């Protein structure tokens, strides 16, 4: 019987994903990732494992080298930058993601951050909790410009929401779509009132939003990031907010998660950090778990649909 390791924290023994995998004749092992996991611990968990349904934890070349039986890895999400896909390919390990599975959840959450930032909701609630009664003006989204960096499934799901709020939408991407004006990144940064990040983390996009990028943005602009933390140079962001180059940022993702106690992002007026919740709805989790299980079973049978490192 083939063994499957499940590390995604919202999947549990006896749930419908577990039942699906066991119904396919697989033996499941649950080890939820709830924070950082030592590479040695992960390698130990992978010993004797044939396939893994994983959260966003580092599966490095060193870890994969210590998992001789492993043949399939399925990421329960869209991003797979935490997996060394080249090393996996060299070892004959199929790596899959689940494109578009949580696009609606991310789009709705993006708008939650936009509204909270525009109307200063977090600052207001925090002030009331301290015994104050903040009454600072916010801003309406209507008539403003939203810049989307990337045009994948989540970004495309944002567009109709933005149009419903009366926003103009610009995007920098090689893709094209309706109700969006496409432009280069410098123009997007300089003309947008709100900039929302939806691109994948690659060597090209790592640190894409740096000091030079922030200098191009409006002093009233708000940055929203629901993609990957490393796309933003956090030190440069702090400097830009403190100096007034931009108004602030709403970050659902950061370079190191959970956010370290000594992170420069802490305590900066205008910067609000959330706990990587964009895709975490009950509906998205259910769809992600089941689609991930289906992809894992298909991959073990040589029928994977969403392989990101080539057919094995």
Calculate ∠ Cα 166-170-175, nearest 5°.
Answer: 125
Tally helices (H) and strands (E) across the chain.
Answer: 11, 12
First to last CA, the chain: 21
Structure token pair of residue 86: 């080249």
Q: Would you call 3 a catalytic residue per the annotation?
A: no
Q: Determine which one of 228, 234, 245, 291 is catalytic.
A: 228
Catalytic residue among 62, 108, 257, 294: 257
Treating both helix axes as pointing N-terminal to C-terminal, what angle do 103-118 and 153-164 enclose, rounded to 10 degrees? 50
Whole-angstrom distance, CA of residue 155 vs CA of residue 276: 17
Identified catalytic residue from 91, 119, 139, 276: 276
Task: Please say if 139 is a catalytic residue.
Answer: no
Residue 56 has phi, psi (to 5 degrees) of -90, 65
Least Cα distance to 113 among 233, 200, 197, 188 occurs for: 197
276 classed as catalytic: yes
Local structure of residue 135 (DSSP, 8 states): -
Measuring CA to CA, which residue among 255, 185, 202 is closest to residue 225? 255
Please identify every residue annotated as catalytic: 228, 257, 276
């Amino acid at each position: 019987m083939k063994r499957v390791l499940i590390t995604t924290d919202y999947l549990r023994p006896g749930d419908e994903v577990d039942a699906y995998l066991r119904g396919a004749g697989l033996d499941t092992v649950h080890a939820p990732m709830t924070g950082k996991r030592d590479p040695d611990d992960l390698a130990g968990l992978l010993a004797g494992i044939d396939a893994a349904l994983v959260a966003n934890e580092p599966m490095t070349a060193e870890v994969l080298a210590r998992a001789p039986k492993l043949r399939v890895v399925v990421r329960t999400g869209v991003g797979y930058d935490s997996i060394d896909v080249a090393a996996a390919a060299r070892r004959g390990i199929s790596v899959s993601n689940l494109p578009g599975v949580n696009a609606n959840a991310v789009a709705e959450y993006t708008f939650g951050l936009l509204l909270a930032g525009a109307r200063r909701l977090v600052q207001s609630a925090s002030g009331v909790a301290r015994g104050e009664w903040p009454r600072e003006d916010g801003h309406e989204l209507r008539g403003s410009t939203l810049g989307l960096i990337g045009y994948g499934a989540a970004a495309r799901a944002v567009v109709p929401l933005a149009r419903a709020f009366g926003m103009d939408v610009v995007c920098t991407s090689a893709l094209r779509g309706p109700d969006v004006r496409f432009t280069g990144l410098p123009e997007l940064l300089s003309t947008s009132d709100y900039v929302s990040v939806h691109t994948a983390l690659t060597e090209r996009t790592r640190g894409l939003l740096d000091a030079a990028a922030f200098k191009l943005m409006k002093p009233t602009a708000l940055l929203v990031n629901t993609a990957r933390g490393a796309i933003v140079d956090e030190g440069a962001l702090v400097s830009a907010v403190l100096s007034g180059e931009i108004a602030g940022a709403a970050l659902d993702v950061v370079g190191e998660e959970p956010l370290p106690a000594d992170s420069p992002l802490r305590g900066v007026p205008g910067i609000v950090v959330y706990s990587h919740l964009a895709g975490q709805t009950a509906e998205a989790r259910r769809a992600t778990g089941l689609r991930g299980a289906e992809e894992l079973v298909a991959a073990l049978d040589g029928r994977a649909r969403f392989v990101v490192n080539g057919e094995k």
